[in-house]
């Protein structure tokens, strides 16, 4: 990998922002960024609500936070500075936004911009890295990986994924024990819907809950495979007749053979992605109508990506290390790169961090390899287990109070004084 470099700036401030859906460990990355920058004597500003905060000149002075508060970010879920779903258009389509960002950067002497997000955020960081020279301002932009979907190219895994994978594997195991105990006279089929619009990584993680034909989950539905109603119903029926009950884990992005989402709601989010209305109730209705089984379904939704109490130790460590590496790359003069995780060994699991060009990551999706999905399309292979298993290992303990609840931190988020006109006018 050959990252772009420029002469290292000797002075200036660093701007950090969070983007897209947050995770159980994105704040660990923020802690890594701030602590690494403080050690180098660099002032860190944070944009309130992602790139929108930069456009609106709504910046937060992280120097007003104590060392203890920043350290506590390592175990606090959510997005400490606020996030957003907002995709910059091209320079040709909306030059005014780019000119405004450079105006804000210039007003606050921001020489390094770190954008912590997924695919669309990598695209934003790449675009910004390219316009500094065009608009006459020296700025280095680093994309910082984060997504529970685990669909970023190049990197072995994405910070945030290991923890949601652990939560889903645990939830599948525990819920299945519940169903098994009640199946004689109650629920026969349990359906768990998980996140993952186009890539089935989270659904695949449920497969870690058990191994063998009688162990839950008995069926996993991946976005990579077209939904086959006949095969689905036949497998559910056979499982109930053999085992007495059946657990199904379905990605929200499951599609029919014609490419339509089973759960399409007909609306779109701010990135232009189709809003999904819930695949679990669609599947549950099929089970009831065609097979007559009593069912239950669950939609963990935000719970799966915010469950810091069940975070993976590996994931938390990687998220923090990624933040520190991003600062190192920025201060070395790199531009248009992202720190990525490189796996050197499965057992024992070993990994390092290296810079990769944003051009190889932005607007690309990493889906499940074919050899990770069993031939029948309903399970994960040994190769998938080798890849997934290390990512959920270890616990990342929380401090608890006398009330039995975790002690999460809420930052003061002191605003930086504005110097510019309101945008847009």
178 part of the active site = no
Give, in degrees to the nearest 5, the angle at Cα 323 between 319 and 329: 135
> For residue 258, is the peptide bond before it cis, meaning its omega torsion is within 30 degrees of 0?
no
> For residue 242, is the peptide bond before it cis, meaning its omega torsion is within 30 degrees of 0?
no
| 248 token code pair | 């199904």
For the beta carbon of residue 316, count every other beta carbon within 10 angstroms: 24
Q: Whole-angstrom Cα distance, residue 206 to residue 218?
A: 10
- The residue from 120, 149, 151, 156 that is catalytic is 149
- The whole-angstrom distance between residue 312's C-alpha and the CA centroid of its chain comes to 14
Q: Whole-angstrom Cα distance, residue 357 to residue 153?
A: 11
Q: How far apart are the first and last CA of the chain?
A: 43
| 249 token code pair | 């884990």
| 264 token code pair | 């399409």
Could you tell me if 30 and 16 are in contact, meaning their C-beta atoms sit under 8 angstroms apart? yes
Residues with active-site annotation: 149
């Amino acid at each position: 990998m050959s990252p772009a470099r420029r002469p290292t700036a000797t002075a200036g401030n660093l701007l950090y922002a969070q983007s897209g859906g947050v995770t159980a460990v994105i704040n660990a990355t923020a802690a890594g960024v701030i602590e690494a920058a403080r050690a180098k004597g660099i002032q860190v500003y944070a944009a309130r609500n992602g790139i929108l905060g930069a456009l609106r000149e709504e910046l937060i002075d992280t120097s007003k936070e104590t060392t203890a508060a920043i350290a506590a970010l390592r175990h606090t879920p959510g997005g400490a500075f606020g996030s957003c779903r907002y995709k910059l258009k091209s320079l040709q389509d909306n030059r005014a936004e780019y000119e405004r960002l450079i105006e804000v950067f210039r007003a606050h002497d921001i020489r390094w911009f770190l954008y912590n997000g997924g695919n669309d955020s990598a695209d934003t960081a790449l675009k910004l890295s390219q316009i500094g020279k065009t608009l006459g301002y020296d700025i280095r932009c680093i994309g910082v990986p984060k997504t529970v979907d685990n669909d970023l190219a190049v990197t072995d895994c994405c910070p945030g994924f290991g923890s949601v994978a652990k939560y889903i594997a645990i939830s599948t195991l525990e819920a299945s024990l519940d169903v098994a105990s009640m199946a004689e006279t109650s629920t026969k089929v349990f359906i768990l819907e998980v996140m993952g619009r186009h890539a089935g990584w989270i659904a695949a993680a449920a497969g870690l809950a058990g191994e063998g034909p009688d162990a839950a989950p008995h069926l996993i539905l991946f976005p990579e495979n077209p939904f086959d109603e006949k095969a689905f119903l036949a497998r559910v029926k056979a499982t109930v007749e053999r085992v007495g009950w059946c657990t199904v884990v379905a990605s929200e992005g499951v599609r029919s053979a014609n490419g339509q989402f089973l759960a399409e709601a007909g609306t779109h989010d701010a990135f232009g992605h189709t809003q999904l209305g819930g695949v679990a109730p669609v599947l549950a209705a099929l089970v009831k109508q065609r097979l007559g089984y009593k069912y239950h379904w669950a939609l963990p939704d935000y719970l799966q990506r915010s469950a810091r109490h069940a975070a993976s130790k590996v994931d938390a460590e990687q998220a923090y290390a990624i933040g520190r590496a991003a600062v190192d790359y920025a201060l070395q003069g790199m531009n248009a790169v992202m720190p990525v995780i490189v796996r050197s060994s499965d057992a024992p699991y070993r990994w390092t961090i290296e810079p990769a060009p944003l051009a190889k990551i932005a607007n690309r999706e990493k889906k499940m390899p074919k050899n990770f999905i069993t031939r029948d399309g309903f399970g994960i292979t040994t190769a998938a287990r080798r890849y997934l298993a290390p990512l959920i290992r270890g616990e990342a303990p929380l401090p608890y109070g006398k009330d039995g609840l975790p002690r999460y931190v809420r930052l003061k988020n002191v605003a930086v004084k504005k110097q510019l006109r309101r945008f847009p006018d």
